[in-house]
Amino acid sequence: MTAIYAKMAVIGCGLIGSSIVRAARQAGCVGEIAIAETSAQARSRIVELQLADVVTGDAAEAVRDADLVVFAVPVLSMGAAAAAAAPGFKPGATVTDVGSVKGAVAEALTAACPDGLFIIPGHPIAGTEQSGPDAGFAELFQNRWTILTPDPRTDEPYRAAVARLTDFWTAIGARVEEMDARHHDLVLAITSHLPHLIAYNIVGTAADLEGVAEAEVMKYSAGGFRDFTRIAASDPTMWRDVFLTNKDAVLEVLGRFTEDLQALSRAIRWGEGDKLFELFSRTREIRRGIVAMGQESAEPNFGRDRGKH
Ligand code: NAP
């Protein structure tokens, strides 16, 4: 295919950044690729993997002449990464990101970037619990949603930039939807952030449970607990940043979740089997709906390596 962008710069080449690079190469939808990474060790690995035409520690150098700049660093590093890139931006370039929280990132990018760029925040709802440039793969975004949270502005040049970025994500296999940033943060608080918090908590509780040895937790871990441990193995920096920057939405859904959990504990205490059965039947339908929408297979192990964040 003809390149959608003549040059793409990716700042931060871990799981998501390296997957974008691999997918874009495979699709042939970008010309030149430049990568900026802070760690020298990661840079030499990226060179070994031959992921880019240019690999540098200098973000301003990477973004020079780039039509598309993708920030793929942890959420709380977005502002500093954009400030480091600022002197090199090409006027009229599209600047996007892949951060799991959108309100805070949009603010950080807008504050750090000069005028004359098209800032279009984004979030691919695809990932795994792995990190680093070796963990990425070209198929990660296939049939997954990418949510863009553009400004409400409707002028033609901005909307054309949004359409072009949509074409880019489509070319690397994703389905694209636009959403208001606040709404994104609320939706993801319940579908992704709270489940991670629960996983971190349940694995922590099991590890600290008196009278149950850690070896027993590992040896007898049934499917349910094993799935939680996979989620709880997700990157600590990334998830610390998510909870710190999506505090309001997470606390809102956590409050609601705690109330519902109390109601469940009352139903167990008073032997209200009908209530339990009714809830478990409703939740089973939700699972079937997700499978029917093609976002998960009925196979028990599908998604083991493609956890959605
Ligand atoms: P990752 O594998 O840890 O990669 C992040 C990379 O960015 C690391 O190599 C890190 O280097 C580098 N980095 C950090 N600060 C930098 C800076 N200022 N300039 C250049 N490079 C920098 O993380 P990831 O899973 O790809 O996550 C990246 C972003 O994607 C996060 O914002 C996350 O919220 C979002 N996201 C993740 C998932 C997922 O499932 N993992 C899914 C969707 C979206 P060091 O290791 O040396 O710090």
Whether 72 lines ligand 1, by a CB cut-off of 6 Å, is yes
Q: Are residues 219 and 142 in the same domain?
A: no
C-alpha R_g of the chain: 21
Q: In this structure, are 151 and 254 located in the same domain?
A: no
Find the domain containing 173 and state its range: 5-179
Indicate the pLDDT class of residue 125, thresholds 50, 70 and 90. very high
Task: Using alpha carbons only, give the angle 301, 305, 308 rounded to the nearest 5 degrees.
Answer: 100
pLDDT of the residue at 306:
46
What's the pLDDT band for 299 if we cut at 50, 70, 90? low
Let me know whether 60 and 120 are in one domain: yes
Closest CA to 287 of 300, 273, 275, 304: 300
Is the same domain home to 170 and 219? Answer: no
Are residue 49 and residue 171 in the same domain, yes or no?
yes
Same domain assignment for residues 75 and 210: no
3-class DSSP state for residue 289?
Answer: helix
Which tens digit of pLDDT belongs to each residue from 233-253? 999 999 999 999 999 999 999
User: Is residue 309 assigned to a domain?
Assistant: no
213 shares a domain with 93: no
**What mean pLDDT do residues 171-196 have?**
97
Residue 305 confidence (pLDDT) above 60: no
| Closest residue by CA, ligand 1 atom 14 | 73
Looking at residue 297, its pLDDT comes to 65
Per-residue exposure over 40-64, b if at least 16 CB sit within 10 Å of its own CB, e if not: eebbebbeebebbeebbeebbebbb
Whole-number average pLDDT of the chain: 93
Residue 23 lies in a domain: yes
- Confirm if 173 and 139 have CB atoms less than 8 A apart: yes
251 located within any domain: yes
Of the chain, the end-to-end C-alpha distance in Å amounts to 30
Global pTM reads 0.93
239: domain CATH number is 1.10.3660.10
Residues 164, 101, single domain; the answer is yes
Same domain? For 156 and 282 the reply is no
The structure tokens 């939740």 sit at 283
Which among 169, 84, 53, 48 is positioned nearest to 120, based on CA atoms? 169
Ligand 1 near 121 CB (within 6 A): no
The DSSP output letter for 86 is G
**Is the CB of residue 96 below 6 angstroms from any atom belonging to ligand 1?**
no
